[in-house]
């Protein structure tokens, strides 16, 4: 009855995958981050990004690597070219982001379990086949291709898990662009020394903190680093481009920009997984 049991498991896995896929699509449908990860240029850059390796083998890369920084800059340039980012194109519901994080974790766990099941079944089939070979020649329908089928299920589950993480990373980068684009319309000829960062920076940093706390229970520190690790490069690049376009600035304006940069840095440093970066 082993073959029939595995067939039942396959049917269950197929239906479970479709439900997970439906939940994923409900969270990302018509959102810019989802559409971007399917774009050839974005997809190619994400594959080249050293941070991408953690999605498959948990290798932790050095973000200061010159190659990685160049890829990161190209990615941020592409995202900044999409300005102005509209709020309705972003996933503003934190519950949906939490869903994507938990969905990714569950899908990865199931994929690992399927791979273990495939290996176990493969060994069992080999033993049965060997035993029957000694007794008689097995009929063709007694040789199962189930391990290969299970392996394809594992690939599907793992790919969807990775897509969830990619959406989360790009979503945080787009949120950074959305908030930092407020810098282009801001005049930094201040009359007084402000005590707080700009409102758009406060909004961004509070969002980073809130989303980190919501996502943290569902992803490892390495994946957490992946999701939020692209924020710094985008924020820095956006600031540099905004500074290059400024026609005038005074001392108080310089201090305010420094205050903004420090606020973003502190928000990212508060995330345990990237505290040492």
Neighbours of 72 (CB within 10 A): 25
Q: What is the mean pLDDT of residues 195-222?
A: 93
CA distance 78 to 183: 18
Question: Mind listing the pLDDT tens digit for each residue in 227-251?
Answer: 999 999 999 999 999 988 888 899 9
- Which pLDDT score, from 0 to 100, does residue 217 have? 93
What is the rounded average pLDDT of the residues 101-122? 87
Kindly state the average pLDDT of the residues 262-271: 90
pLDDT value for 65: 64
Domain count, the chain: 1
Listed residue (264, 273, 179) closest to 227, CA to CA? 273
Mean pLDDT of 32-42: 95
Whether 61 has a pLDDT exceeding 60, the answer reads: no
Q: Does residue 93 carry a pLDDT above 90?
A: yes
Q: Report pLDDT for 234.
A: 94
Please report which confidence band the pLDDT of residue 62 belongs to, taking 50, 70 and 90 as the band edges.
low
Tokens for 257? 């920009």
* 65 or 9, higher pLDDT: 9
pLDDT at 101 over 80: yes
Q: How does pLDDT run across 151-181, given as a tens digit for each residue? A: 889 999 999 999 999 999 999 999 999 999 9
Res. 100 pLDDT band, cuts 50 70 90:
very high
Output phi, psi for 188, to 5 deg: -105, 45
Name the more confident of 1 and 236.
Answer: 236
pLDDT given at position 77: 94
Q: Is the pLDDT of residue 192 over 80?
A: yes
**Closest to 141 in 3D by CA, of 151, 153, 129, 158:** 129
pLDDT given at position 277: 46
φ/ψ of residue 249, rounded to 5: -160, 145
The pLDDT value given to residue 118: 77
Highest average pLDDT, of 125-129, 155-159, 189-193, comes from 155-159
Residue 128: what pLDDT? Answer: 52
Instruction: Give the pLDDT of residue 140.
Output: 46
Mean pLDDT of the chain: 85
Mean pLDDT of 1-11: 74
Of residues 259 and 271, more confidence is placed in: 259
What is the predicted pLDDT for the residue at 132?
Answer: 55
Containing structural domain, residue 199: 2-274
Phi and psi torsions of 58, nearest 5° = 60, 25
How far is Cα 183 from Cα 100, in angstroms, rounded to an integer? 30
pLDDT at 29: 93
Residues forming beta bridges with residue 188, ordered by sequence position: 249
């Amino acid at each position: 009855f082993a073959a029939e049991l595995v067939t039942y498991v396959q049917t269950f896995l197929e239906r479970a995958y479709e439900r997970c896929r439906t939940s994923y699509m409900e969270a990302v449908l018509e959102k810019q981050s989802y559409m971007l990860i399917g774009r050839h240029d974005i997809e190619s850059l994400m594959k080249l990004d050293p941070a991408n390796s953690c999605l498959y083998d948990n290798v932790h890369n050095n973000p200061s690597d010159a190659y990685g920084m160049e890829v990161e800059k190209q990615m941020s340039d592409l995202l900044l070219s999409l300005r102005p980012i509209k709020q309705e194109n972003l996933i503003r519901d934190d519950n949906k982001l939490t869903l994507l994080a938990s969905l990714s974790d569950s899908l990865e766990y199931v994929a690992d379990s399927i791979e273990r099941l495939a290996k176990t079944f493969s060994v069992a089939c080999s033993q049965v086949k060997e035993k029957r070979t000694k007794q008689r020649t097995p009929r063709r329908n007694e040789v199962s291709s189930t391990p290969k089928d299970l392996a394809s299920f594992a690939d599907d589950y793992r790919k969807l898990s990775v897509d969830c993480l990619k959406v989360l990373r790009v979503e945080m980068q787009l949120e950074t662009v959305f908030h930092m684009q407020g810098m282009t319309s801001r005049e930094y000829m201040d009359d007084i020394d402000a005590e707080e960062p700009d409102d758009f920076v406060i909004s961004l940093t509070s969002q980073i903190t809130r989303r980190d706390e919501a996502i943290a229970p569902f992803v490892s520190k390495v994946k957490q680093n992946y999701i939020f690790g692209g924020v710094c490069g985008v924020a820095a690049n956006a600031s540099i481009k905004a500074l290059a376009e400024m026609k005038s600035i005074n001392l108080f304006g310089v201090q305010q920009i420094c205050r903004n940069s420090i606020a973003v840095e502190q928000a990212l440093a508060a995330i345990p997984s990237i505290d040492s970066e």
